[in-house]
């Protein structure tokens, strides 16, 4: 029964390919016209249906019995195409994001708002990265490669690393300000952070180096206290938090999948 459908959706040789592609485009445009004229009371159910079917694919693939020999069921082979489909759809929104950038900064430049030259710098940087990035892939040219190297390895990677490293400064000011014995909670937070810090660095370890390496008193060495906090208290607390997050995530997924979710976006008349 599925044979003719499968044959219709199979890969096509170059001679007929343009017709199929054009046909698909025309059909899609036709469908959009149908959608535009859809009565408004049918819209929400249609969106709910699309959402449900998309979720149903992954749910069925997970719950449907598998063939023990191959560890697959009838949908498993479609997982890869499905993830490609997801990436492609998600990727297509990038244009909307870039349009937002262009709109904000284009307006800055057009109206010569304060700092308009920064917006120019942004656009120049963007255009050069696109130009040389694509040349790097599609047109090998030594000069272009060098420029791309300066833009990517020289600038982008180093800027990433620099912003990341700023956290070192912020961690100092945050711990200086927040770790005060103001309340029980703040005190607990401070004491454990302090102990763990001691356990992290050689200087701290030297403090309890006089304690034996083995035996009962060894557990009082700072590095062992640190290890105990991490492996016992930390692991258990994080697992408990994770269980809650797991159930919460499952609940919100169910609500969205079955269109039970509420809020301005979901309840709006369309």
Partner 1 sequence: MDALWQDILARPAIYAGAICTLGLMTLIYRENAVYRFFEHVFIGLAAGFSIVVLIKEILDPFLYQPVFKKGEWYWTFVFMFGLLFYFIHSRKYNWLSRLPIGFLMGFSAGQAFQGFANTYLPQLARSFRPLFVTTPDGSWDAAAGINNLIFMIVLVTVMSYFFFSFEQKSRVIRNSAQFGRWVMMVAFGAIFGTTIMARMALLFDRMYFLFSDWLRLVR
Partner 2 sequence: MATTPGTSAPRDIWDRLQAIDRRVLYVLLLVVIILPLFVPIRLPMVTMPSTQKLYQAVESIPEGGYVIVSTTWSGGTRAENMPQTEAILRHLMKRRLRVAVFSFDQQGSQFSYNIASRVARDFGYEYGKDWVHWGFRPVAGVVMKSLVRDIPGTFTTDRDGKPTKDMPVMQGIKDIKDVDAIVEIAASGIYMDWIGLVVGANPKLKFGFCPTAVMAPETYPYMDSGQIVGIMEGMRGAAEYEQLVNTVGLATKGMGSISLAHVLIMLLIIVGNVGYIVTRARRS
Partner 3 sequence: MQHAFEKIWPVLIVEVLTAVIIIWRIVSAQRGKELFIRRIPGLNAIDEAIGRATEMGRPVLMVPGIGGFSIIALQALSIFSYIARSTAKFGNRILMPVADPTVYTVAEEVIRDAYQAEGHPERFEADSIRFLSDRQFAFASGVAGLIQREQIASSFMFGEFFAESLIFAETGNMVGAIQVAGTVHTTQIPFFIAACDYTIIGDEYYAASAYISRNPTMLGSLVGQDFGKLLIASLCVIGSVAATLAALEVPVLGTASQWFINLFTIR
Task: By CB under 8 A, tell whether 70 contacts partner 1.
Answer: no
Q: What separation in angstroms does the CA of 43 have from each of 51, 52, 225?
A: 12, 14, 60
Question: CA 48 to CA 269: how far, in whole Å?
Answer: 14
Long-range contacts of 225-234 (CB under 8 A, 24+ apart): 225/195, 225/199, 226/195, 226/196, 226/198, 226/199, 226/200, 227/199, 229/192, 229/195, 229/196, 230/196
Binding characters for partner 2, 189-228, by CB under 8 A (x = yes):
xx---x--xx-xxxxxxx--x-------------x-----
Cβ of residue 221: shortest distance to partner 3, in angstroms? Answer: 24
Q: Number of residues interacting with partner 1: please give it, by CB under 8 A.
A: 129
Q: What angle do CA 116, 121, 124 make, to 5 degrees?
A: 125
Task: By CB under 8 A, tell whether 197 contacts partner 1.
Answer: yes
The terminus-to-terminus CA distance of the chain in angstroms comes to 38
Chain residues in the site for partner 3 (CB under 8 A): 61-66, 71, 73, 76, 90, 93-98, 100-101, 103-104, 107, 159-160, 163-164, 166-167, 170-171, 173-175, 177-179, 189, 193, 238, 241-245, 247-256, 258, 260-265, 268
Chain residues in the site for partner 2 (CB under 8 A): 157, 160-161, 164, 168-169, 171-173, 175-183, 185-186, 189-190, 194, 197-198, 200-206, 209, 223, 230-231
């Amino acid at each position: 029964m599925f044979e003719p459908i499968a044959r219709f959706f199979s890969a096509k040789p170059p001679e007929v390919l343009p017709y199929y592609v054009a046909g698909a485009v025309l059909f899609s445009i036709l469908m959009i016209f149908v959608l535009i004229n859809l009565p408004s009371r049918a819209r929400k159910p249609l969106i709910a249906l699309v959402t449900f079917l998309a979720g149903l694919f992954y749910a069925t693939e997970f719950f449907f019995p598998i063939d023990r020999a191959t560890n697959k069921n009838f949908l498993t082979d479609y997982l890869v195409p499905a993830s490609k489909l997801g990436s492609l759809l998600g990727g297509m929104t990038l244009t909307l994001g870039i349009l937002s950038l262009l709109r904000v900064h284009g307006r800055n430049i057009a109206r010569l708002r304060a700092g308009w030259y920064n917006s120019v710098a942004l656009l120049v940087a963007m255009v050069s990265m696109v130009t040389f990035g694509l040349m790097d892939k599609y047109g090998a040219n030594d000069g272009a490669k060098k420029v791309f190297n300066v833009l990517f390895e020289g600038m982008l990677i180093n800027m990433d690393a620099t912003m990341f490293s700023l956290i070192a400064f912020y961690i100092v000011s945050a711990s200086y300000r927040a770790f005060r014995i103001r309340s029980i909670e703040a005190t607990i937070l401070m004491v454990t952070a302090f102990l763990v810090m001691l356990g992290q660095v050689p200087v701290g370890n030297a403090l309890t180096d006089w304690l034996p390496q083995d035996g009962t008193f060894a557990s009082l060495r700072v590095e062992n206290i640190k290890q105990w906090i991490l492996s016992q208290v930390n692991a258990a607390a994080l697992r408990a938090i994770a269980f809650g997050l797991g159930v919460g995530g499952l609940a919100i997924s169910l609500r969205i999948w079955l269109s039970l979710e509420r809020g301005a976006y979901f309840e709006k008349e369309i």
